[in-house]
């Protein structure tokens, strides 16, 4: 992670020294790099995963060996997952790097005493930022938070290029099917949805987008994709991928429209975008067909669900590529450093634009790509109203 490495001096300037930090992000190798960088900057870090299906036990063990307190195990129940997160809360964490707001929202619900002691939260993903704004709207956000997901160096690359590529990679690796000529139905054309469409189209897939937002539906149309309502889109779909960030994008009523042999995968934060329990309730038989592929037999149709409906790129493979997470975690590291410095007011804050620029410039430097500067005339024109 060359960008994160080049931020080492700034991170180690003392703001993080002696601070108790919780990192609750999908526990795989790149997350471990972030944890170790924060530890090196002087923080005491307690870690947990943000989804039991994406936790890699080998990474947990490696972190524990390096003296990090970790509360996570692959595949535990929702109750055990919550218990682990509450152990993180009880460890006295004052600053949190969260994903989906999984720790913060549980603290608000179960441990308001500890929640009241939080000094800052930096949130990794779209769904978590929505939850932060919901807390703020209810007057429950008495500390500063940063919408790290909304940083340009995060969502413009991680959600689009990283998740687009790795979700497709995971679907193809888990099933060994050919993408070319297949019908892909993508539910949600946000940052993630457009990355998925780009990746599937690049592999020769036929794309249909389902949206509820008129501007995003129009964008999908102008990008050259078919746009259709869910029921119609499903009838022609060989692969359905959900990326809405909400729940029940594929609900109990949608399964009647699925073709025989369809693959269902989710890229969104929640395991609940595909209503897998409702599918199981409708099925005559359930077969564990191969690793991370569960087949539900509905009469004469077979429906294959990947990675149990959890985010398939992280629960089914290793998540986003290291080049992407170098950017995302540089955002997170600078975000938590800014929160530790006490520079931000209570409420949801944007990630500072100058830090976004710093990360992009550093990344360009590592790639050996040079930028031009505006001329004096251009600078004057930019700042004047009459030239």
User: In sequence order, what are the residues at sequence separation of 6 or more whose Cβ sits closer than 8 angstroms to the Cβ of residue 285?
Assistant: 296, 297
Q: CA 54, 60, 63: angle at the middle one, nearest 5?
A: 135
The length of the chain is 387
Exactly one of 157, 184, 191, 329 binds ligand NAD (CB under 6 A); which one?
A: 191
Enumerate residues 56-95 that contact ligand NAD by CB under 6 A. Answer: none
Exactly one of 44, 50, 56, 313 binds ligand NAD (CB under 6 A); which one?
A: 313
State the DSSP string of 140-198: ---SEEE-GGGSHHHIIIIIIIIHHHHHHHHHHHHH----TT-EEEEE--SHHHHHHHH
Q: Which is nearer to ligand NAD, 63 or 196 (CB)?
A: 196
Q: Which is nearer to ligand NAD, 122 or 125 (CB)?
A: 125
Measured N-to-C along each axis, helices 322-340 and 29-40 cross at an angle, to the nearest 10 degrees, of: 30
Exactly one of 102, 211, 275, 326 binds ligand NAD (CB under 6 A); which one?
A: 211
Cite the DSSP H helix spans in the chain: 2-6, 8-11, 29-40, 57-65, 78-90, 102-110, 112-115, 126-137, 152-154, 163-175, 191-202, 214-222, 230-235, 276-282, 312-315, 322-340, 353-367, 376-383
Pattern 107-146, binding to ligand NAD, x per CB under 6 A?
------------------xxx-------------------
Q: Which is nearer to ligand NAD, 168 or 192 (CB)?
A: 192
Contact between 322 and ligand NAD by CB under 6 A: the answer reads no
Q: Which is nearer to ligand NAD, 53 or 249 (CB)?
A: 249
Q: Which phi and psi (to 5°) does residue 101 adopt?
A: 60, 30
Exactly one of 244, 292, 294, 349 binds ligand NAD (CB under 6 A); which one?
A: 244
Contact between 164 and ligand NAD by CB under 6 A: the answer reads no
> 3-class DSSP state for residue 252?
helix
Pattern 248-277, binding to ligand NAD, x per CB under 6 A?
-x-----------------xxx--------
Q: Which is nearer to ligand NAD, 215 or 386 (CB)?
A: 215
Chain residues binding ligand NAD by CB under 6 A are 125-127, 155, 158-159, 163, 187-193, 210-213, 216, 243-246, 249, 267-269, 311, 313-314, 320
């Amino acid at each position: 992670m060359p960008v994160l490495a080049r931020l080492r001096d700034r991170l180690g300037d003392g703001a993080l020294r002696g601070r108790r930090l919780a990192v609750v992000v999908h526990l795989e190798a790149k997350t471990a790099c972030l944890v170790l960088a924060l530890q090196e900057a002087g923080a005491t870090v307690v870690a947990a995963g943000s989804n039991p299906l994406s936790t890699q036990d080998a990474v947990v063990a490696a972190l524990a060996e390096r003296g990090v307190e970790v509360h996570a195990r692959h595949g535990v129940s929702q109750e055990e997952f919550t218990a682990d997160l509450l152990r993180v809360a009880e460890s006295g964490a004052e600053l949190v790097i969260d994903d989906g707001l999984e720790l913060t929202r549980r603290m608000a619900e179960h441990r308001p005493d500890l929640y009241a002691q939080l000094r800052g939260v930096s949130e990794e993903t779209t769904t978590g930022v929505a939850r932060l704004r919901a807390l703020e709207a209810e007057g429950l956000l008495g500390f500063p938070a940063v919408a790290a997901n909304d940083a340009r160096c995060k969502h413009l690359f991680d959600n689009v290029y990283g998740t687009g590529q790795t979700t497709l990679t995971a679907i193809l690796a888990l099933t060994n099917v050919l993408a070319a000529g297949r019908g892909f139905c993508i539910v949600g054309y946000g940052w993630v949805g457009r990355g998925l469409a780009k990746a599937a189209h690049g592999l020769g897939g036929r794309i249909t987008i389902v949206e509820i937002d008129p501007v995003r539906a129009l964008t999908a149309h102008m990008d050259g994709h078919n746009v259709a309502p869910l029921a119609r889109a499903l009838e022609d779909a060989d692969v359905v991928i959900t990326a809405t960030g909400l729940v029940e994008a594929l609900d109990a009523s949608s399964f009647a429209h699925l073709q025989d042999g369809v693959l269902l995968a989710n890229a969104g934060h929640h395991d609940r975008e595909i209503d897998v329990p409702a599918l199981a309730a409708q099925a005559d038989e359930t077969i564990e067909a191969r690793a991370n592929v569960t087949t539900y037999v509905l009469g004469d149709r077979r429906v294959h669900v990947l990675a149990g409906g959890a985010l398939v790129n992280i629960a089914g493979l290793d998540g986003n590529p290291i080049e992407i997470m170098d950017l995302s975690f540089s955002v997170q590291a600078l975000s938590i450093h800014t929160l530790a410095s006490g520079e931000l007011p209570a409420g949801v804050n944007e990630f500072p634009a100058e830090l976004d620029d710093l990360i992009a410039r550093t990344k360009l430097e590592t790639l050996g790509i040079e930028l031009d500067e505006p001329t004096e005339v251009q600078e004057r024109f930019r700042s004047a109203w009459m030239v």
